[in-house]
Chain A
Amino acid sequence: MNNYSISIRPFGIHAILLEWPGRVDVAILEDILQFTQYLKKCCLKNEEWEIVPAYNSVTLIYREEPINFKELKTKLLNWYKEDIKVVKRQKVLWRLPVCYDEDFGIDLNEISQKSGKSIKEIIELHTSQVYTVFGIGFLPGFTYLGGVPEELQFNRREEPRSKVLSGAVGLAGKQTGVYPQESPGGWNIIGNCSVPMFDPKAEEPCFVSVGDQVQFYKITRAEFDLRKIESEVGIYKLEKIVLDA
């Protein structure tokens, strides 16, 4: 560790923010996750810490008693400097099925016109990328995926929709993601994912974690309809690939 200059700031009396340099960068995210893994395993003495990584930061929350900011800041900086043999963090790739039928991809025509690319080309671009989960928020299970190719970068819609369907796959700037629930939203909608991104009844309600990788693949409308029916009764399979990298 000790690869970056990090800033540590108070976040009230029960939380502390650690911030890496201000850019969206897979290497920075990896550094954050390695450090938080180290903190969990070697440094923070008990189970009560809640740890929330996002993009270029991690927030540590301790509700039992007020944090001694100065003391903890010193410790954190020292821990970060330690030259330790970190156990390599396991990396995971999730393959997610998407139906890009125009009934679901309600903005496909518009972004096809804007970009000068055919819908087929847009789908190929979207499914050929491996994306990284940089943050989870906005809604339970809403993943912010980075790594969208330049040709697929579009501004958010000027007028957000009051209703975006559960499962909707969206594009906004450099990001893509899946709406886990029906919600107002301003992202450009290009398809629908049949796998529920958030299931409070599941053993792991949100199977994706910050730092994981995601790749979308195209499925037909018929296959989507079948999988959607199955997922509504809790039958769905998660396609997980453990990476060695």
Chain B
Amino acid sequence: MLKVLKSGLFTAVQDIGRYGYLNKGVPVAGFMDGFSAKKANQLLDNDAHAAVLEITMTGPTLLFEEETYISMGGALLSATLNNEPIANYEVIKVNKGDILSYGKLKKGFRNYLAVKGGFKAPLVLGSRSFFSSVTKKNHLVDGDELAYDVCSYFEPKISKLIVDSFLDEIELKVGHGPEYENLSDKQLEMLFGKKFSISNENNRMAYQLEEKIEGLQISMITSATLPGTVQLTPSGKLIVLMKDGQTTGGYPRILQLSDRAISVLAQKKYGDEVRFKLNSQL
């Protein structure tokens, strides 16, 4: 078992997400930064959808009660194993009794801890991802325990990955949302011509951007929304729905982030800047 000695700010089990239930109002949930999580899993030859710990800003302190292998991806969070610094994107042997802890956030916002075979939180509606009202837990608390497979020997195909500049990216590639065609030239100029900063309202449900553009005054009947949908309110507020976002909405859906763009945005915190770039593919 993995014993949670200190849980950190918002540490949760996430996998590739919960699909097939949007029509029942169940969000996808899953890794906020799928790009980083999948690379951490890849190093361990895990399934791409294996459950990892998503660690946000302030990391946990974790005790491994059995031996296994781990790897980390995403944010640089000053991780140490038994007080020795360890790096992202490396396969690391963990022995019985080892303690993994995190320190100062240096870059990014969300770190992903993968374990050989994935964490064995309960499977609910096809996924282990935490989401309140679907799973018993929304995030880990001190004293929690998580099962994982014991692994005494593993020879990775790749023992280290170099992921140089992902956390520095600010460009969000977007496609047209359903209401894109309603945007005026002025609105388009504002949307694509400048940077936007992340407001304090940012979490797994949605990221609200600080700067406003001209609002869009069209009446809408409630319709589906997706992770990565950019909504524009009548007052000009831009809201990017994320993995735990509501499945329907009534605001114009002007843009749709690519999967990678969702991952880029998930590594931004309050005050960081991003820029939308229209993908020529659509």
Contact = CB atoms under 8 A, between A and B. Distances in A.
Contact of A12 (B26, B132, B177): B177
A56 to B, nearest CB: 5
B175 A181 contact: no
Interface string B237-265: 00000000011110001001110000000
Contacts of A206: 21, 24-26
Interface residues of A, number: 43
B246 A12 contact: no
Contact of B26 (A69, A135, A205): A205
A14 B229 CA distance: 12
Q: Interface extent on B, as a size class?
A: 35 or more
Given A9-B181, A138-B246, A57 B223 contact: yes
B133 A205 contact: no
Contacts of B176: 9-12
Contacts of B25: 136-142, 198, 206
Contacts of B51: none
Contacts of B135: 200
Interface string A182-203: 0000000000000000101000
B133 A180 contact: yes
B222 A135 contact: yes
B271 interface: no
A13 interface: yes
27 contacts: A9-B176, A10-B177, A10-B178, A11-B178, A12-B226, A12-B228, A13-B175, A14-B226, A15-B256, A22-B221, A50-B22, A52-B224, A54-B224, A55-B222, A57-B223, A66-B282, A69-B282, A134-B222, A136-B247, A137-B222, A137-B246, A139-B246, A140-B24, A141-B24, A144-B222, A205-B21, A210-B23
Q: What 5 A-B pairs come out closest when comparing CB atoms?
A: A12-B256, A137-B248, A59-B224, A206-B24, A52-B224
Interface of A: 9-15, 17, 19, 22-24, 50-57, 59, 61, 63, 66, 69, 134-142, 144, 180-181, 198, 200, 205-206, 209-210
